[in-house]
Amino acid sequence: KAGVTQTPRYLIKTRGQQVTLSCSPISGHRSVSWYQQTPGQGLQFLFEYFSETQRNKGNFPGRFSGRQFSNSRSEMNVSTLELGDSALYLCASSPSRTGGPDTQYFGPGTRLTVL
């Protein structure tokens, strides 16, 4: 089975721009979660989607948003980029067969640099 894929792998943007990151989960996985990793804050949960619905959201401003499509693929969007948004953005998929918590498998991440 193919693993979680994320595109693009690297991205450079300037302040004020917006960006969209994409994540394709492992086939059959219904839950997709997003995390931000920075040297200062470590790994922080952004949000989780299950069956096209956001089930859980971390403590991030409204500039961070996401969605999930019917094929479980997910996108996250960051609007009005700030320098502090520079980070590695990791997507994780989970079988979540019963809808409950399950092991999360991570993709390679998208490294976003904001200039």
Whether residue 76 contacts residue 46, with contact meaning beta carbons closer than 8 Å, is answered with: yes
Least distance in angstroms from the C-beta of 42 to another protein: 5
Tokens of 61: 């401003």
Least distance in angstroms from the C-beta of 60 to another protein: 13
**79 or 106, CB closer to another protein?**
106
For 43, other C-beta atoms within 10 Å of its C-beta total 12
**62 or 100, CB closer to another protein?**
100
Which residues is 23 bridged to in the sheet? 6, 74
Least distance in angstroms from the C-beta of 73 to another protein: 17
**67 or 111, CB closer to another protein?**
111
- Backbone phi and psi for residue 82, each to the nearest 5 degrees, phi listed first: -120, 160
Tokens of 83: 């320098």
Under the rule (CB under 8 A), what is the footprint of another protein? Answer: 31, 33, 35, 42-45, 48, 50, 55-56, 58, 88, 90, 92, 94, 96, 99-109, 111
Cβ neighbours for 79, distance < 8 A, ≥ 6 positions apart: 18, 63, 65
Least distance in angstroms from the C-beta of 79 to another protein: 23
